[in-house]
Structure 1
Amino acid sequence: MLPPLIHSLLNNPLSGEQIEERSFACIDREASGHGFLPDQWQVVRRLIHTTADFALMELIRFSPDAIAAGTAALRSGQPIFADSNMIRSGLSQARLRSVCPAYSPASVCCHVADSDVAEEARQSGLPRSLFAMRKARSMADGGILLFGNAPVALLELNRMIIEEGIRPALVVAMPVGFVHVVESKEELMGLGVPYIALTGRRGGSPLAVATLHAICTVAGSTYI
């Protein structure tokens, strides 16, 4: 029987940081000539790193002002809305504080499990995510909004933008699924607000987290 493969690593140690560095080098090599701007590539390569899926390069869309708007919002400590507690748990406080020391766990809100939201959803027969988005209205204007799970929440934000004049600092539009997913992203991209979106059915909370982490990297590397 062959020895367990772990012995290869034990005999030639690599730290987690070194493995990540090698992974990014592989991505850069395999996607050479990609055509993204340098700051955009920071986002795209981290999405590929998260999924090992180079097809995401064909699906991602940036508004022209997305990276600049996102970095400015992070540097000023704007609040962050998450459409799932998975996003809230996945966001690194260390990364956020490296850009703006004012960030804390309270800076990231997710109302989807709140009892009042659950009751409104029960009475109406509508998804909790819709009422979670409504509850977060006060921070949506000027805030950073992350969608990886709930297209209905994104549809409600779109309504707020159209009907109430809400203007988020940045919307990361990556809900995943089959119902309301494609149209929620397409509607958002026509509303004139800064966005990073993943077209089609693909998405997920880990991708929304990875996107904001990448923007933290951009904001931190040019921070003055």
Structure 2
Amino acid sequence: MEFIKDPLAIEKRSMEIIAPYLAGFDLDEQTTKVFSRIIHAAGDPDYANIIKVHPEAIAAGLQALKAGCDIYCDVEMVRTGINKRRLAELGGQAYCLVADPAVAAEAKAAGITRSMAAMRKFGAQLNGAIVAIGNAPTALFEVLKMVKEEKIKPALIIGVPVGFVGAAESKELLYTTTSVPFITVLGNKGGSPIAAASVNAVMYMLGR
């Protein structure tokens, strides 16, 4: 059986297959790239109906990346999926504290999730940074609380936690209330690959 073996050729052909699914959405070139990479990561064209990109999200993300911003993740799977070589070339690093023993201890003492405790520990480091949440709705709720109550101001929140408990609600809150530019997918869908794909989609606009 003949099949495409070259990675770049596979990606190019994938984007060609995805393109017709986006034809009726009236997206600009940059937003199309975000939609396409999310759909590519999910293998699901229906994502086009639930992706929401704030009008300032891509510009804010690009500006932050050009300035060498760091990226703060809720779980290691998100951090792993980010192109850290390219991020380092831009002057940034990707961080995740969910496995940090001190964070685990703080979470246990406070009766909260480790992802929540990690976001609290990042604190003011989130200012001007990109936050990428792909797994834990509690982490997204915590970041939105920090934005509202502590005036923390990330450059961009990529909030796409997956699941049936709190995921849809946390993303609806992000979509309807936050003052921070965002990329999200409404409902129960999402996940770490979607978060990493969203980060990479923006980052690759600055070259690969």
| Same fold, TM-score > 0.5, yes or no | yes
- Select the residue among 191, 198, 203 that pairs with 1:211: 198
Q: Which residue of 2 aligns with 1:174?
A: 160
Which runs of structure 1 show a deviation greater than 6 angstroms over 4 or more consecutive aligned residues?
Answer: none
Work out the number of aligned pairs and report it.
207
Change (3 A) 1:30 1:55: closer
| TM-superposition CA deviations, 1:152-202 (whole Å, max 9, x none) | 011111111111111110000100011111221122221211101111111
Mark the runs of 5 or more structure 1 residues left unpaired by the alignment.
none
User: Are positions 1:89 and 2:75 aligned together?
Assistant: no
Following superposition, the deviation at residue 89 of structure 1 comes to 1.4
Distance in 2 between the 1:174 and 1:26 partners? 24
Q: Which residue of 1 aligns with 2:107?
A: 121
Aligned with 2:108: secondary structure?
Answer: helix
| TM-superposition CA deviations, 1:80-109 (whole Å, max 9, x none) | 1000001111111233245x1x23xxx211
Distance in 2 between the 1:192 and 1:215 partners? 20
Aligned with 1:179: secondary structure?
Answer: coil
Mark the runs of 5 or more structure 2 residues left unpaired by the alignment.
none
Instruction: Report 1:28-177 matches (<5 A).
Output: 28-97=19-88, 100=90, 102-103=91-92, 107-177=93-163
User: Are positions 1:201 and 2:194 aligned together?
Assistant: no
Change (3 A) 1:14 1:181: closer
Among all aligned residue pairs of Structure 1 and Structure 2, give the percentage whose two residues are the same amino acid. Answer: 39
Larger radius of gyration: 1
Taking structure 2 as the reference length, the TM-score comes to 0.94
Contact kept, 8 Å, 2:61 with 2:130, in 1: the verdict is yes
Contact kept, 8 Å, 1:95 with 1:213, in 2: the verdict is no
Distance in 1 between the 2:7 and 2:178 partners? 41
Taking structure 1 as the reference length, the TM-score comes to 0.87
